[in-house]
């Protein structure tokens, strides 16, 4: 039986029609984004005043969509594309470990110092990265006159001859004054990040979050391939888009990469997901409706056991990048609870000979080592001494279960010919000659700008610990 729509239902339906019109308009100018533009499920929410997403839904306010479409229709195109690019660049999921709405970053102001949450700084960095990319693409459907504030921040980005990503911007923004940050927040605000994972409005761990992230990883890869196939993008926009997709892939791939060196072992810890079925049924028989649930006192987990991190300290490798690499590795393992309580990590510095070997047991040793770390070396590059040294340690019984060896290098050195008995991976920050790397070695190309971010992170965490 036919039922008349209410005014509210009719407005909601028309709002979705407007969104579909916006999506089609974007597609005409950005055909390589076909899959990405169609990835959202629309969901009305009267409590928000801008687009918002959790990677699955595109939340919108019916009133806002109607009003903006009447008064400034091109802005809807930009806002829609803005939200899509956040997902393609994985801004929802790759926030640095120190990003928290409750953690304050102190910035200079007229009254001395004023605090702003690191969450807001990350939001701003992501918004600037996306808006800069959209403006550089310079498409008819999203073209706008650049304000003086935008021109200034874009000139600063262009003047720096380094890789570009939200992570790099986040680090730079910490050097700005409080009034400058407030001005930029007003200039670049486009969508609401309230439903991003880890935010107050989002649940602690949204169902299907991992699947949503993986979906966008695949979309980003497919979009990048489609863009190259079509070749219909302006040079600047093309390079920016590719650089940010590459940057987010680099950090994610390194985190996942470290998991390959973990081993499965039981650890003393209550496993609330498991219980003794015998106690459960016994309780039902004895008390009729009261099962006895006793969680297991141990659980099986995958973590790093014994591990070797070798760093190339030859004169062709940057000391600051070495420090940043070690900080990044420590942050990933620490924040993701990657160590067993009896883990032993050897950090070896080597150029053409082994310069130092520091053994670390647990996170406290790692913290102290990073604070006091000094680069030792500066000669030529030869990878063979590290392998000879590690083999000697194995013969002396220094390792109970060596998970593997990571070698951080620029790739310009002499490789060993014989395959070792443990997993070995070479991590490169520059382009490297594939023909020189032994076939048995695992290879991973990393992006330098992602490690540059971590230069100041330890100081932030140190300050927080002192306040506590």
Neighbours of 9 (CB within 10 A): 11
In our burial notation (b when 16+ CB lie closer than 10 A, e otherwise), range 148-157 reads eebeebbeeb
**DSSP-assigned states of every residue in 266-311:** EEEEEEEEEE-HHHHHHHHHHHSS-----EEEEEEEEEEEEEEEEE
Which SS3 state, helix, strand or coil, does residue 117 take? strand
**C-alpha span between 130 and 429 (Å, rounded):** 25
Q: How far apart, in whole angstroms, are the C-alpha atoms of residue 137 and residue 10?
A: 36
Q: How far apart are CA 421 and CA 395, in angstroms?
A: 12
103 sits in which H/E element: none
Specify the DSSP element, H or E, that contains 344.
Answer: strand 339-350
Written as tens digits, the pLDDT of the chain (468 aa) is: 567 788 888 888 999 999 999 999 999 999 889 999 999 999 999 999 999 999 999 999 999 999 999 999 999 999 999 999 999 999 998 887 778 777 777 787 777 778 888 899 999 999 999 999 999 888 999 999 999 999 999 998 888 755 678 888 888 898 899 999 999 999 999 999 999 987 755 554 556 787 898 899 899 888 888 877 766 544 555 566 766 666 655 555 566 677 677 655 555 555 555 555 666 676 667 777 776 665 555 555 556 678 899 999 988 777 777 887 887 777 766 655 555 555 788 999 999 999 999 998 866 787 888 888 888 988 889 999 999 999 999 999 888 778 889 999 988 889 999 999 999 999 887 778 888 899 999 888 776 555 544 443 344 344 444 433
- The dihedral region occupied by 445, where left means phi > 0, alpha psi between -120 and 50, and beta the remainder, is beta
Torsion of CA 409, 158, 125, 129, to 10 degrees: -90
Give the Cβ contact number of residue 141 at 10 Å: 18
Q: What pLDDT digit, counting tens, does each position of 73-90 carry?
A: 999 999 999 999 999 999
- Measure the CA–CA gap between 460 and 439, rounded to whole angstroms: 41
pLDDT tens by residue, 316-326 = 777 777 887 88
In the DSSP assignment, the letter for residue 382 is B
The distance from CA 299 to its chain's CA centroid, rounded to whole angstroms, is 28
Domains annotated on the chain, with CATH = 1-261 (no CATH), 305-467 (3.40.50.410)
């Amino acid at each position: 039986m036919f039922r008349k729509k209410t005014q509210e239902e009719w407005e909601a339906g028309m709002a979705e029609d407007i969104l579909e019109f916006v999506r089609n308009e974007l597609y005409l100018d950005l055909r390589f984004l076909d899959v990405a533009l169609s990835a959202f499920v629309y969901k009305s929410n009267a409590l928000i005043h801008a687009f918002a997403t959790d990677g699955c839904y595109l939340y919108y306010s019916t009133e806002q969509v109607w009003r903006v479409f009447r008064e400034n229709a091109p802005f809807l195109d930009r806002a829609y594309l803005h939200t899509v690019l956040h997902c393609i660049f994985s801004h929802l999921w790759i926030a640095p470990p120190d990003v928290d709405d409750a953690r304050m970053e102190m910035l200079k102001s007229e009254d001395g110092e004023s605090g702003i949450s690191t969450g807001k700084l990350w939001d701003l960095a992501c918004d600037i990265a996306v808006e800069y990319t959209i403006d550089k693409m310079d498409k008819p459907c999203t073209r706008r006159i650049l304000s003086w504030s935008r021109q200034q921040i874009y000139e600063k980005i262009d003047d720096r001859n380094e890789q570009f990503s939200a992570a790099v911007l986040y680090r730079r923004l910490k050097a700005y004054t409080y009034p400058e940050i407030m001005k930029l927040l007003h200039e670049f605000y486009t969508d609401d990040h309230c439903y991003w994972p880890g935010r107050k409005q989002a649940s602690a761990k949204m169902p299907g979050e991992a699947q949503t992230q993986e979906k966008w990883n695949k979309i980003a890869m497919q979009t990048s391939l489609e863009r190259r196939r079509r070749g219909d993008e302006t040079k600047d926009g093309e390079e920016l888009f590719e650089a940010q997709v590459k940057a987010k892939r680099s950090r994610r791939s390194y985190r996942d990469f470290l998991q390959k060196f973990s081993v499965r072992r039981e650890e003393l810890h209550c496993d609330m997901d498991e219980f003794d079925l015998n106690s459960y049924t016994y309780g039902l028989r004895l008390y009729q409706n009261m099962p006895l649930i006793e969680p297991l006192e141990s659980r099986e987990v995958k973590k790093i056991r014994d591990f070797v991190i070798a760093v190339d300290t030859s004169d062709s490798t940057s000391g600051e990048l070495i420090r940043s690499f070690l900080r990044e590795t420590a942050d990933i393992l620490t924040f993701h609870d990657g160590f067993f309580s009896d883990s032993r990590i050897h950090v070896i510095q080597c150029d053409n000979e082994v310069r130092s070997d520091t053994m670390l047991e647990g996170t406290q040793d790692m913290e102290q080592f990073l604070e006091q770390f000094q680069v030792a070396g500066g000669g030529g590059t030869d990878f063979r001494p590290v392998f000879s040294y590690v083999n000697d340690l194995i013969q002396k019984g220094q390792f109970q279960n060596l998970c593997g060896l990571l070698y951080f290098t620029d790739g310009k050195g002499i490789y060993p010919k014989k395959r070792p008995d443990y997993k070995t991976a070479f991590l490169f920050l520059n382009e490297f000659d594939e023909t020189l790397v032994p076939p048995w070695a695992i290879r991973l190309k990393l992006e330098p700008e992602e490690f540059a971010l971590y230069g100041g992170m330890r100081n932030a965490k140190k300050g927080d610990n002192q306040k506590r």
